[in-house]
Amino acid sequence: MCCFEDLRPYLDALTPDEKASFRMTVDGIATGTDMITSTGISEVITASQIARSLTADFTEESEAAAAVFYTKRYFETLPLGQGLVATELQPADDFALLAGQAFVSAWDLSHDRSYLEKATVVLDFAAARSKYKYQMRILLVKVLRLLGSPSLALKHFRILDVKSVQFDTLSHVILSRATTFAVGHDPALSEEVASAQKWYKAGESEASEMPVRAFSYGNYSKIEDFAEFQERLSGSLSKQLLSLESVRMQAVVGSLDPVAGTKAVLDLARTLNGPDRSSDNRDFKTLPSLQPATQRQIREQTQMGPETRIAWLRAMVAIYVNFLEPSSSGAFEANLDLYTSELTSSESALLTFSGLARAALSTRLEAPEAETSALIFFKEQESRFIQAAEDTATLPWELLHIAEISLEGFCLLDLAVDQKIAEITAAKPTDHLNADHLMSHAYNVVDSRKTMAEALGSALHKRCSK
């Protein structure tokens, strides 16, 4: 029997009646026990994957039951792998992957966090017995991130032993919105970002030499391929996302050099405002979706918020430019509404806040109440956090995300005010009148941010201590 991935396009082409009929046929194979042998197990697994894909009706209860069934199948099949060397995959691995995805599906339908916890138990157990089943480990990493366990997620990600160009294609699994977890001051994720950035620097240097080497050795047919690789690496979206994530992490932990941070975001802004040469080299197919074809697929179900693409990058760069270099933010203003589709509600609020804060700190200040309007952000975030904490459907990463965005907004405002005060202090005597006006507003912002930060911090402490 062919593997499931080969059959998937043909399954999609079947009519509803053909799908129902075929599902009944393969379901008999999938639920039988006579083929749980070393020679028949591949056919049973493929039949199980096909039957699941063709499932038309599903509920929380049916998905939970399916997950339990696949888990039992895993343990029934596990003895077939006894005696295999550690580098071999276990015949039962795909049942663990099916069980994990079915538990995720049950959570997606019910928002009952316990299903995600059950998924981690099954996947962690199976991953310990099959080190090189990378699809299973990637799913485990993504579920652990949803549950707010970045350290465990990173531990499993590092077992994948990502190397070379895989930094460009797979880093998103662990580093997408990684700043969410920076509030814990764990340096491990920052180190992972630094490792990826180090590879990009070396990789781009090596890529630039590849066409020359091919020409030197007379391997002319490879020159075009190497040139394309160089171009894709140079315009890598993942590289740009990680560059911003590095700045964000430093801002949140209080280690950002304003000069270096400003340069980094302005470089990104210039790239984004220039000709579109970005290349999304991220590999999203390493984790195959085994969910019913009519349901949300596993990639969507396990994302921390909307997928981060070019629109998200533009919005987040705009936020940092607004705070760190307000005079350069005009290029982004006209189309910011187009970028919000990839933002969470907290990120969208931070984008709005950044524009108001820029107005409050700008020499073009027109309204005396601008700084007061800007600081509404902190009150809204406090309310958002309290509501999320009281909602049993809220996942740990979502609470951390609200707290992190709140802290990020405060840290950026802190940097912006410090920079403005430094500018005012260095103002020429002829600018004293305007300087006094701006100084007054700056100190108002300083006083207000302290009050709001204290209120927000108190709310976060109360909710996190429960």
Neighbouring C-alpha atoms within 13 Å toward the C-beta of 62:
8
Q: How many residues does the chain have?
A: 466
- Please name the amino acid found at residue 208: S
Helices 396-425 and 134-146: angle between axes, nearest 10 degrees: 70
pLDDT of 437 reads 55
What CA–CA distance (Å, rounded) separates 107 from 79?
30
Classify 379 as helix, strand or coil: helix
What CA–CA distance (Å, rounded) separates 370 from 361?
9
According to DSSP, residue 177 is labeled: T
pLDDT in tens, the chain (466 residues): 458 888 888 998 999 999 999 999 999 999 888 888 888 899 999 999 999 999 988 999 999 999 999 999 999 999 999 988 888 999 999 999 999 999 999 999 999 999 999 999 999 999 999 999 999 999 999 999 999 999 999 999 999 999 999 999 999 999 999 999 988 777 899 999 999 999 999 988 887 778 777 777 777 777 887 788 888 888 999 999 999 999 999 999 999 999 999 999 999 998 888 777 889 999 999 999 999 999 999 999 999 999 999 999 999 999 999 999 887 755 455 456 667 789 999 999 999 999 888 887 775 545 555 567 667 899 899 999 999 999 999 999 999 999 999 999 999 988 988 887 777 777 655 554 455 555 555 555 555 555 555 555 554 545 444 4
Q: Residue 298's closest CA among 286, 281, 280?
A: 286
pLDDT of 371 reads 62
According to DSSP, residue 340 is labeled: G
